[in-house]
Amino acid sequence: MRILIVNTSERTGGAAVASGRLMNALNNNGVKAKMLVRDKESDHITVVGLRHSLLQEWHFLWERWCIFCHLHFSRKHLFEVDIANTGTDITTLPEFKEADVIHLEWINQGMLSLNDIRKIIAKGKAVVWTMHDLWPATAICHYARMCSSFKTECHRCRLLPGGGSNNDLSKRVWRRKAAVYRNSNIHFVACSRWLEQQAKQSRLLQGMHVTSIPNPIDTNIYHPLDKQKARLSARLPVDGRRIILFVSQRVTDERKGMAYFIEAIERLVAVYPAMKERLIVAVLGGHAEDIASKLALPVYPLGYVNDEKKIVSVYNSADVFVLPSLEDNLPNTIMEAMACGVPCVGFDVGGIPEMIDHEANGYVARSKDSEDLMKGIHWVLGDKTDYALLCRKAVQKVNSAYSQHSVALKYIEVYNQAMAFKRYHI
């Protein structure tokens, strides 16, 4: 069995990380898998990059320009919207021709257009599409928030100026997607049960195969280390103070809930003033320095880091990991922290409650409730909690649910189903 995994980037973003981990998991379990990406960032022979050209850059810029125009030249929702009007025809590539299954991952921002996806489907190969967000089941948005239009037909989109119209951009893209999906053989995979439930409510995916499989993680890389040595490696204090960790690709991303994190830390210091001398905050991700002055505890902004060894050291330096996402699928960051034996605190949204078992390996706070988020941080770090047990259970959860072997076997089953379905309908 030969699998071609298609993703926009090789390493940048959660979907890229998950795609690379899946490729490795499949190869380690007897399946020949390659990745095809627009942005190749390594010299790995199993990752194939599209030939770099000015046309690729034009595809990205043209799509952004079209969206920018529809937003009346506002940048407010510029990267919350994707319309897939440009991309590359991959069906002529040798990697495509030799593959038994074409596995789409996150293919936005000029990687594949809807017309390119139509061409892939027309070739008659088995197609699996992992949903890292809701975009395949909506018209133009990656997260629907409180909007339910995708359950019937997208229109009057909240992301468009004035709330859109009955025949706005979302309505037109919806119709194009519906035409592409019609009579297709796509098997959709959601990374969480939450996203699976959302996807199954989409009118676009009615009658389609939709299941859920979590992202894998390599526990040979992400595992507990000596905390003191980890802090020395990460250049964090080794003076006995406990570290609260926040991680995001861009920490100022509103969806990741930094505003609630700031408020929770402020409440924690106000309610438990004695803890102020015993706690610090580490922030890993782009623009970390922008929020340092807003937190009521000493902050160590670590910036954006690509070095996996340093990332593992940062996780192992922490005593608690906090991610108050307002909407999220199955955050890699929570999985990585838990694999390193770090209890996690997050909001009751998306796939997070599937990862954190409340008061067993972490704390699940009420959504958008900074008071409860503060309680969760205090509960993890408090004297009444068996902290060592929390850490052990975090590792156990990852080993049982997200190991490479278990995830690879689930995907192999989906691939076999997709190929059997294709043969049956030929």
pLDDT digits (tens, 9 = 90+) for 360-398: 999 999 999 999 999 999 999 998 899 999 999 999 999
Q: Which fold has domain 2-216+404-425?
A: Rossmann fold (3.40.50)
Query: What are the beta bridge partners of residue 211?
Result: 189
Residue 425 has pLDDT above 70, yes or no: no
Same CATH fold assignment for domains 2-216+404-425 and 227-401? yes
The whole-number average pLDDT for the span 202-221 is 95
Per domain, the residue ranges of the chain are 2-216+404-425, 227-401
Residue 219 has pLDDT above 70, yes or no: yes
Residue 426 has pLDDT above 80, yes or no: no
The whole-number average pLDDT for the span 47-55 is 89
pLDDT digits (tens, 9 = 90+) for 84-141: 999 999 999 999 999 999 999 999 999 999 999 999 999 999 999 999 999 999 999 9
pTM: 0.90
The band of 423, judged by pLDDT with boundaries at 50, 70 and 90, is: low
Angle among Cα 90, 93, 99 to the nearest 5 degrees reads: 90
The whole-number average pLDDT for the span 305-329 is 95
Residue 185 has pLDDT above 90, yes or no: no
Mean pLDDT of the chain: 95
Determine what percent of the chain is predicted with pLDDT higher than 90: 92
**Long-range pairs, 168-173, Cβ under 8 A, ≥24:** 169/70, 169/81, 169/83, 169/139, 169/140, 170/138, 170/139, 170/140, 170/141, 171/139, 173/83, 173/84, 173/114, 173/139, 173/140
The band of 52, judged by pLDDT with boundaries at 50, 70 and 90, is: confident
Residue 54 has pLDDT above 70, yes or no: yes
Looking at domain 227-401, its CATH architecture is: 3-Layer(aba) Sandwich (3.40)
The whole-number average pLDDT for the span 1-20 is 95
